[in-house]
Structure 1
């Protein structure tokens, strides 16, 4: 190939890559998350059109080069990729239904927190409009959007995810967890359940320590160290749960039940409520009554399953 032909081919490839990279994005909803998303897309050079009920929230983004849409339908029409981050799924439906006529051929990425059933219904509706649908759960505070600290779990249209993965990774490292649109919401509910369980334990710990004048900050230093070490047990628990093999020669349910009873007794003695931890003891005791006292602590999950112990 001649030098001229090589240069032409290189220029064409560069132009194609640039055109591919500069995907028009519509962002609907400019709360803290939506603003951070729009900022990230702008930073990567994508043409961004935004819409929010309170148009003033778009001012800073417009100064940076975003276009302000008069209606959600206009934002959809302007975007090849349409990212929605609003309060709830009812609001998503309210905003997208009037845009049904312009959805065909576009990809909707819904980053609104909701329930699996709502995600399933919205995904089916979007498919009926001949749009590709991805549901996503964002794990980041707005300040970390676009950094290595952020990650997003997506579910839904696999082809759409492959097509726009490079653009979506602008938000944070993405993973497709499955083709059913509700799967990211299932993951999200599960992960947030674990988070709130940790918060519950933290609040209980701080309240108990405070009865003897130990400050929350003072307690939190060793607590974080201990919880970090304790989290190392989770992968082994997960293997036991998936295999339904709870054989153990170490810390079994009976030992943990004795320890937890002591904690609850001490908590009551300090005049505090035991509402947060008492249900966990009931799970342990359910399993012990069923003859599993010598089983791993992980077996407590069986008392939460629909088919019981």
Structure 2
């Protein structure tokens, strides 16, 4: 780490997350400049010692490191445009949610204006910022990440993913898939057991235990995916699909929406039709890795 413990920093974008980021820098003793289109959102931070820049252009010039956390990448480009192309010597770390393609395009766009650029993603809720529970993903030139690692560390647990500027956005999207899939599975199961008078709080510990057990399978399954070999060591897909059919039947029988289990079975049915019925569940990567006609 090359940055000093009290290096100045700018935060642009003061929604709940932006305010949390700026607050963490202030708490750690970093001179912090802030800017937001609605200036009133900076009032609490200014009271805590932040400096409110009158324009985004001045905010960008105020510090060697600028964190941007706004609505979307279009806003990011608008803000950087206010720098009038005078971004040489500035490192921009964009923590705005978007796609990997947008991240790579933004890096090129910022680079043409003289800025160093890292893309990132925040895997946390605002109250967790400043604690080890907040995981902050970064991707881009390693030297630029290491130059500011000490400053960024006050935000939470840092994860540097690699030189490819799109990796943080890809990991962010992949993490959302994991989160929503786990939650949807729990909600489906909860809806089913509620029909028998079991409340969500009673079912939750069982679901949590099962989710933990399934998570333990991932390293072994990852080995199969990376090798492209899926021997049925535990169960063949053609066996699993019978259980999926049972899940659809049970959901319909108790009057619960069966869209989610039907989707799971439809994906497995395609894999079996392609000749993968005697292989193990991770063979479905072939289906997930292919865009379906009509998508």
Task: State the TM-score, normalized to the length of structure 1.
Answer: 0.90
3-state SS, counterpart of residue 101 of structure 1: coil
Structure 2 residue runs without a partner (length 5+): none
Residues 106-115 or 267-276, more deviating: 267-276
3-state SS, counterpart of residue 33 of structure 2: strand
Alignment match of 1:255 (pick from 224, 227, 239): 239
Q: CA, structure 1 residues 298+68, in 2 after alignment: closer, same or farther (shift >3 Å)?
A: same
Kindly provide the CA deviation profile for residues 23-59 of structure 1, in whole angstroms up to 9, marking residues without a partner as x.
1111001111111111111111111000112212211
Indicate the residue corresponding to 2:169 in structure 1.
Answer: 185
Indicate the residue corresponding to 1:23 in structure 2.
Answer: 7
User: Is the counterpart of residue 155 in structure 1 residue 139 in structure 2?
Assistant: yes
Indicate the residue corresponding to 1:236 in structure 2.
Answer: 220
Indicate the residue corresponding to 2:31 in structure 1.
Answer: 47
Question: Given that residues 73 and 102 in structure 1 are in contact (C-alpha distance below 8 angstroms), is that contact kept between their aligned partners in structure 2?
Answer: no
Task: State the TM-score, normalized to the length of structure 2.
Answer: 0.94
3-state SS, counterpart of residue 7 of structure 2: coil
User: Is the counterpart of residue 76 in structure 1 residue 60 in structure 2?
Assistant: yes
Asked which structure has the greater RCO (Cα within 8 Å, sep 6+), the reply is 2
Alignment match of 1:125 (pick from 109, 116, 120): 109
Cα separation, 2, equivalents of 1:306 and 1:289:
15
Alignment match of 2:182 (pick from 190, 195, 198): 198
Cα separation, 2, equivalents of 1:100 and 1:236:
52
Cα separation, 1, equivalents of 2:2 and 2:164:
32
Indicate the residue corresponding to 2:48 in structure 1.
Answer: 64
Indicate the residue corresponding to 1:12 in structure 2.
Answer: none
Alignment match of 1:299 (pick from 245, 269, 283): 283
Quote the offset at 1:18 in angstroms.
Answer: 11
Cα separation, 2, equivalents of 1:262 and 1:219:
20
Indicate the residue corresponding to 2:88 in structure 1.
Answer: 104
Indicate the residue corresponding to 2:19 in structure 1.
Answer: 35
Count of residue correspondences: 292
Cα separation, 2, equivalents of 1:118 and 1:291:
37
3-state SS, counterpart of residue 108 of structure 1: strand
- Which entry has the higher C-alpha Rg, 1 or 2? 1
3-state SS, counterpart of residue 18 of structure 2: helix
Residues 17-26 or 57-66, more deviating: 17-26
1:126-141 aligned at under 5 Å gives the runs: 126-141=110-125
Residues 128-137 or 266-275, more deviating: 266-275
Indicate the residue corresponding to 1:93 in structure 2.
Answer: 77
Alignment match of 2:249 (pick from 265, 269, 272): 265
3-state SS, counterpart of residue 129 of structure 1: coil
User: Is the counterpart of residue 113 in structure 1 residue 93 in structure 2?
Assistant: no
User: Is the counterpart of residue 214 in structure 1 residue 198 in structure 2?
Assistant: yes
User: Is the counterpart of residue 226 in structure 1 residue 210 in structure 2?
Assistant: yes
Cα separation, 1, equivalents of 2:3 and 2:287:
54
Question: Given that residues 67 and 93 in structure 2 are in contact (C-alpha distance below 8 angstroms), is that contact kept between their aligned partners in structure 1?
Answer: yes
Indicate the residue corresponding to 1:7 in structure 2.
Answer: none
Structure 1 residue runs without a partner (length 5+): 1-16
Quote the offset at 1:175 in angstroms.
Answer: 2.1
Cα separation, 1, equivalents of 2:13 and 2:234:
51
Quote the offset at 1:146 in angstroms.
Answer: 1.3
Cα separation, 2, equivalents of 1:191 and 1:307:
20
